[in-house]
Amino acid sequence: MALYVHKYGGTSMGSTERIRNVARRVAKWVRAGHQVVVVPSAMSGETNRLLGLAKEIWPGKAGDAYHRELDQLAATGEQASSALLAIALQAEGLQAVSFTGWQVPVRTDSSYTKARIESIDDQHVRAELDAGKVVIVTGFQGIDAGNNITTLGRGGSDTSAVAIAAAIRAHECLIYTDVDGVYTTDPRVVPEARRLNTLSFEEMLEMASLGSKVLQIRSVEFAGKYKVPLRVLSSFTPWDIDIEEEAKSGTLITLEEDEQMEKAIVSGIAFSRDEAKISILGVPDHPGVAYRILGAVADARVDVDVIIQNVSKDGKTDFSFTVPRADLERASLLLRDKVLPELGTDQLVTDAKIAKVSIVGIGMRSQVGVASTMFRTLSEEGINIKMISTSEIKTSVVIDEKYVELAVRALHRAFGLDQ
């Protein structure tokens, strides 16, 4: 007997019939002798519906009091799906009980709408498992030190599931989604993309941060930190598929040292269209300038990704960096109003029509010429590189958005990922 955490996304919980199928799948695992904790998302579209109601009532910007109520509101979506799943499991003849995040409790900080998990008390969950019950825990939510309900941000149910798996020392955390694993790239862009049998935590972390939407990045961070094996698999396979076959399906995300790890130099191609570039021209080239620019942006909670500073000429330099496209206007206004006057320049140039394309693979550590292959491939396709960022297991380039699909297809072929 092993202990598993099952996580089901909103599409998997999208109707009463799909909830019944989830219950039948979970029942299969329980009847095979396993203990199961289930972390469901809200039914598909429900969180958007709830937040839309709040926006209808007050479309303007508001402070912590407003965001506290948003969390109170949004958390009800998972509460409803968890209760419905418990009822469905009871209809299957199993004992089942659902808990909200505050009943466990899942302790978080007080950053409403984007809280971070600080601790999980597993005693309540373990007691119910030992009593022979299936335990359902609402994803996406917790409770802060002031007993206020908090939510973890979009995709937070993935993080909830991994954190619970870490707390109860689960054998594996199964992330059931609407895809059957992690692919070498998006199959909608490259039909020849292959499903990967295994990935390291490092590779998955890079792919999640670079634009792959399969897993929330914080869930992968949690899994790597606490060494929780993750398996991404489809909830749309027949629920009565043989359990041994199901347990080996999808993509296993685990330690790099796993002997089964694929040895390809490049494991996947990630890309993101949600990018924008900001350039400040004529910046004084002296210590502290980068901090004055990026510190102000960080204080505004805008993420910065690729950074380039040009060679100094006549004591001046140009400073460029990328931000999420949704934050471009806010970051630009902040820089124009507060930072540029201090630097003695008014030259700020923005570009919202860029994209980032990245190659990822642990095999890149021990191979030379990987980046040059990437650059040569893009050159042969007539694609100009605007910015470059590298690490041990990834190389990213910023290019014009209109070339992103061409770049992904060309790189996928160049590194033999369709083989």
List binding-site positions: 7-10, 47, 78, 177-178, 183, 188, 213-214
Strands (E), 84-124: 96-99, 106-108, 117-120
**Annotated binding-site members for ATP:** 7-10, 177-178, 183, 188, 213-214
CA distance linking residue 247 with residue 307, whole number of Å: 42
Q: Which of 398, 371, 401 is nearest to 386 (CA)?
A: 398
Distance CA 10, CA 164 (A): 19
Binding-site residue positions for substrate: 47, 78
Q: Are 135 and 35 in contact (CB under 8 A)?
A: no
> What is the C-alpha separation between 168 and 153, in angstroms, rounded?
23
* DSSP summary character for residue 339: I
Cβ neighbours of 102 (radius 10 Å): 19
Name the DSSP class of 383: P
Answer for the pair 152, 116: CB distance below 8 angstroms, yes or no.
yes
Is the Cβ–Cβ distance between 112 and 151 less than 8 Å?
yes
What is the biggest distance separating any 2 CA atoms in the chain, rounded to whole angstroms?
A: 78
Number of Cα atoms under 13 Å in the Cβ half of residue 118: 13
Distance CA 263, CA 245 (A): 24
**In 32-155, which ranges are continuous DSSP H helix?**
46-57, 64-91, 123-130
Buried b (16+ CB within 10 A) or exposed e, 186-206: beebbeebbebebbbbbbbbb
The per-residue b/e assignment along 367-382, b for 16 or more CB within 10 angstroms, e otherwise, is eeebeebbeebbeeee
